């Protein structure tokens, strides 16, 4: 697995579902450089319960990210058609209706691979054929990207382990505190309110 902290976030131009259903065929994270921080997170698959809980939790805290000038962007190895179908499904039925932040479709799995969160790899089997070993989906990776497009924080959870949106916000606060004041943030640091 790659450690991307301190490096430019891997670039991509891909299809994403934005604003709860619209398709953007030229979505890229670089559009936010110089304007917003980005919290780019991967989840394994559409139509799964842990993923549903995470996507809904990010939406419920979206105003907390927006007030901090952070663009939340989700990504999975599903197609944009799958994203759209899941976005139409009500929350009570396990859907994500009401999610407004962008969901990137990484159907080729190249973005997950470039971010080092693909839960498997390609290798040659005994017959000499190229085959995928592992699970062809993304681990639960989260990447906090600064205004210059540099990854400043990353955390990767195994497939069954949901992430903490509160911790993601705390890391945003810590990074912004350092960027604005040049002061380090020790263990369990929290923004003064």
Report, as residue numbers or ranges, the catalytic residues: 51
Please identify which residue in the block is written with the tokens 């259903």.
21
- Interior CA angle at 161 toward 9 and 50, to 5°? 95
Token pair for residue 141?
């990776």
- Return all residues near 176 (Cβ < 8 A) that are at least 6 apart: 37, 68
> What is the DSSP-derived secondary structure letter of residue 36?
-
Rounded CA separation 109/45 (Å)? 12
- How many CA atoms are closer than 13 Å to the CA of 192, on its beta-carbon side? 2
Rounded CA separation 145/37 (Å)? 6
Please identify which residue in the block is written with the tokens 């004041």.
181
């Amino acid at each position: 697995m790659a450690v991307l902290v301190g490096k430019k976030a891997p670039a991509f131009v891909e299809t994403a579902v934005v604003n709860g259903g619209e398709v953007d065929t030229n979505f890229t994270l670089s559009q936010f450089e110089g304007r917003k921080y980005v919290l780019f997170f991967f989840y394994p698959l559409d139509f799964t319960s842990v993923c549903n809980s995470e996507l809904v939790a990010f939406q419920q805290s979206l105003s907390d990210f927006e007030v901090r000038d952070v663009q939340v962007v989700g990504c999975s190895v599903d197609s944009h058609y799958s994203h759209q179908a899941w976005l139409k499904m009500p929350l009570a039925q396990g859907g994500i209706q009401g999610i407004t932040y962008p969901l990137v479709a990484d159907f080729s799995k190249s973005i997950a691979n470039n971010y080092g969160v693909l839960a498997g790899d390609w290798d040659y089997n005994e017959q000499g054929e190229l085959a995928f070993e592992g699970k062809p989906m993304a681990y639960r990776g989260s990447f906090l990207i600064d205004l210059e497009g540099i990854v400043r924080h990353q955390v990767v959870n195994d497939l069954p382990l949901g992430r903490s949106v509160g911790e993601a916000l705390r890391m945003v606060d810590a990074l912004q505190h350092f960027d604005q004041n040049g002061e380090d943030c020790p263990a369990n640091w929290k923004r003064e309110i």
